[in-house]
Structure 1
Amino acid sequence: MLRKPDTGSRGCHARRRRHHHAQPRVDLSDHGCRHLIRPATDRARICGRCRAQGPCWGAWRTPTPLGCVNLCPPCSGVTFQRCTGHLRGVLYESARTRSTRADDCLCRLCSESRAAFWDHCHDHGLVRGPLCGNCNTREGMSTPQSFLQNKEGAALPLPEYRGLLERRTLPARYYAALPRMHVEATERHIIRSRRCKHEPWIEHVELAHGAYRFEPSCWWHQATWGLDPRPGSQRFRSSRKPVEGLSDAEGRSS
């Protein structure tokens, strides 16, 4: 016995689909409603004061007691002032720091957004300056390349601590990184009587007597070679040259 296929439900859905597609589409742009169809990314990067359009990555986000707002650098400069260095040489854990609000100043690194945190030197516990949320995260995760090659943030760890400038040395976390950058730029292995043109990958090991042993390796030719340990005195000498220019610039500005 053959059964008649049940097409009632399918036909109902088909009618609904036809009815749905038959609905006329309204073009909001033809009715003066273009502001309703503007992407959310465009609305999120407009200054709340002068209505200027900013970068799409949200660099204008500024924290306030009522939440985050969008302020362009000129409007932020009018609202918040640059840090005057009144906390130079003050401990981060001191009562003076806790009683001073960082969000009254502009970020010391980008000079565009309102600051949210007091950045401090982890080696000595001294205040370095006010930072916004974006710059505080970037500074905490910064690499030696960004410290030495990024013009905006090159001198950030130094101005609030005179000891680093007087000794002309960098913070401790760069002691192994600077020689590593030098090895990456200068060391190459020989392949078929020619000098390899590819930058090697460097692995370093800190030895017990304060020296570092570097082991370059070339991924292109599957080659690995060792270098003599670099003593601690050499790592200090390698960090003097980048600091000399920063120290001179800080001396001229003070």
Structure 2
Amino acid sequence: MAHPAHGLPAIPVALSSASVYPLAVHDAFALAQDLGYDGVEVMVTNNSVSQSPDQLNVLSERYEMPILAIHAPTLLLTQQVWGKAWTKIELSAAMAAEVGARTVVTHPPFRWQTGYAEEFPEGIARVAAEYGVEIAVENMYPWKVRGREAKAYLPHWNPVPEPYERITWDFSHAAIAGMDSYEEMRALGDRLAHVHLTDGTPNGKDEHLLPGQGQQRCAEALEHLAGAAWDGVVAVEVSTRRARGAGEREEWLAETLRFARSHLRH
């Protein structure tokens, strides 16, 4: 069965631009094409290209790589991008619609974003409907200060119990939180919209390891998605910052793509 948006496999494997950091957005498109990925997830940062639908469409056409998701600038490190919280969501949804991406990934509100947090479930549903996209809230993890949990998100770092229609699942975040991704993804059912394929260990660090290098049941989770005829996108979001040059970065990203496809039965 083909993915309806672009004639892709039933479960496309995208390369997140976060996986090539600190390289530029165009490097993500070039690597995705070279390695045979099905598309790209663009994380919006202070990089001007990541904020421009026109420039992203040019890259998509040049490299023949569809943009399958937009990651809104809702990280702590991107708080200055696109100003106010709702502006970030609105512009991300508008850009997703303009570049043909079905999914917008966003983090839960931070605790200091009180007004935004109170309106968040209804607000993202409204924006999603307005732009014809889905907004999938990502699972995060508890922050700890001097060994004690600090409340960083409102109402919580775990989006599963909240009234969000669509969820993005990240294996590295689950590892920090001590959650079993395989069981959580099975329980989410149709609420699961998008997956960040990576791995991690419960050591308190957001490691974004290659799948198989941590303790999450990545292979079983992907096999479950394939067996369940899931229709979302698996986006590779691994850290390659410690790669020794371009060759090793490409090797890691190729290895992760092979892992994904082998367990998705492509």
TM-score class normalised by the smaller sequence: under 0.3
Task: For CA contacts below 8 A with separation 6 or more, give which structure has more relative contact order.
Answer: 2
Structure number with the higher helix fraction is 2
TM-score (norm 2): 0.23
